[in-house]
């Protein structure tokens, strides 16, 4: 009984990038901490077996049995989008059909081979995410092999939204910076209006951010925000420059905290993935 309780206080998180994996221990309690336990590269020569073989190397000798494990995927391995429910939708099948149609419209192909999950809502736009079915099958097989409890598999942007939910301000736009990619959650009257992704130019200053936010407001039809909250250890240098510079029309706030210090930009990308969402 005590061992099971301690396991829940020290959950494991796996970050899955396109070329690497990382295992992070997330300790809960009065002083939550993140510790990088292991890393593994994915060998392209392994082909379809690369992820499974990488997970075996990552977890070799690790005390994973009986532990809850959350997996955070690099956003490029998943698909994330916003769905507007059809007028008069009253059945789950209506919402699922709307998500599938929107997936095909955005990504140019049916969602065959993808598993879609969402914050299903018949009354307001909602966030949907699709994960590759073969990737999910490999993760479930790894859970069976190593006897851990696979409790969550999410793209990084979803992990960020969920992890910082207690600190997100009403109607503020939410931004994640990872490397040179900015992903925005546009909110209008408390509801998700759009999810937008853009490449950040080198040395982009506050003027670039001001122009980008204004452009996205026009494109989405949403009111320009009074506040943009930014997270992402990979972009803290940029974000701090945005916060410290005078802007036009909105404030910029960096979501940061004591727990973030454990996941600095010096951590490899897969480890930063695993640590995403720690602001909750």
DSSP bridge pairs for 81: 128
Q: What percent of the chain has pLDDT over 70?
A: 88
d(CA 272, CA 142): 21
Both tokens of residue 152? 């969550």
DSSP bridge pairs for 185: 174, 195
For residue 264, what pLDDT is reported? 55
Q: Which CATH architecture has domain 168-254?
A: 2-Layer Sandwich (3.30)
Please report which confidence band the pLDDT of residue 258 belongs to, taking 50, 70 and 90 as the band edges: very low
For residue 1, what pLDDT is reported? 39
d(CA 245, CA 241): 6
Both tokens of residue 75? 């956003």
Q: Does residue 30 carry a pLDDT above 50?
A: no
Contact 277, 159 (CB under 8 A): yes
Q: Does residue 232 carry a pLDDT above 80?
A: no
Residue range(s) in the chain whose domain bears CATH number 3.30.420.40: 2-72+132-156, 168-254
* 275 burial type by CB count under 10 A (0-12 exposed, 13-18 middle, 19+ buried): buried
Q: Does residue 259 carry a pLDDT above 80?
A: no
Contact 81, 106 (CB under 8 A): yes
**Rounded to the nearest 5 degrees, what angle is found at the Cα of 129, between the Cα atoms of 124 and 131?**
160
d(CA 86, CA 83): 9
Both tokens of residue 214? 């204004």
**Rounded to the nearest 5 degrees, what angle is found at the Cα of 222, between the Cα atoms of 216 and 223?**
100
Please give the backbone phi and psi of residue 27, each rounded to the nearest 5 degrees, phi first: -90, 130
Average pLDDT over residues 204-229: 93
> What mean pLDDT, rounded, does the chain reach?
87
Q: Does residue 237 carry a pLDDT above 70?
A: no
Contact 270, 57 (CB under 8 A): no
Q: 3-class DSSP state for residue 267?
A: coil
Q: Which CATH architecture has domain 2-72+132-156?
A: 2-Layer Sandwich (3.30)
Q: Model's pTM, two decimal places?
A: 0.88
d(CA 277, CA 160): 5
């Amino acid at each position: 009984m005590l061992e099971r309780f301690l396991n829940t206080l020290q959950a494991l998180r796996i970050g899955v990038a396109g070329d690497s994996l990382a295992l992070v221990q997330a300790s809960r309690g009065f002083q939550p901490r993140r510790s990088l336990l292991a890393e593994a590269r994915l060998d392209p020569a392994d082909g379809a077996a690369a992820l499974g073989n990488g997970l075996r190397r990552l977890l070799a000798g690790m005390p994973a049995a009986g532990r809850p494990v959350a997996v955070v995927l690099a956003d490029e391995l998943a698909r994330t989008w916003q769905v507007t429910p059809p007028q008069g939708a009253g059945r789950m099948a209506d919402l699922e059909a709307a998500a599938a149609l929107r997936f095909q419209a955005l990504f140019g192909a049916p969602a065959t081979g993808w598993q879609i999950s969402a914050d299903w809502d018949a009354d307001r736009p909602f966030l949907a995410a699709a994960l590759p079915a073969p990737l999910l099958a490999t993760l479930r097989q790894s859970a069976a092999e190593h006897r851990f409890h696979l409790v969550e598999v999410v793209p990084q942007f979803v992990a960020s939204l969920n992890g910082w939910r207690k600190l997100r301000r009403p109607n503020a736009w939410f931004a994640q910076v990872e490397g040179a990619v900015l992903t925005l959650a546009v909110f209008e009257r408390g509801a998700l209006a759009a999810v937008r992704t853009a490449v950040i130019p080198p040395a982009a200053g506050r003027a670039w951010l001001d122009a980008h936010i204004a452009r996205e407001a026009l494109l989405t039809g949403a009111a320009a925000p009074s506040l943009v909250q930014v997270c992402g250890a990979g972009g803290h240098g940029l974000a701090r420059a945005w916060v410290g510079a005078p802007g036009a029309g909105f404030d910029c706030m960096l979501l940061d905290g004591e727990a973030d210090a454990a996941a600095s930009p010096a951590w490899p990308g897969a480890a930063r993935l695993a640590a995403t969402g720690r602001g909750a």
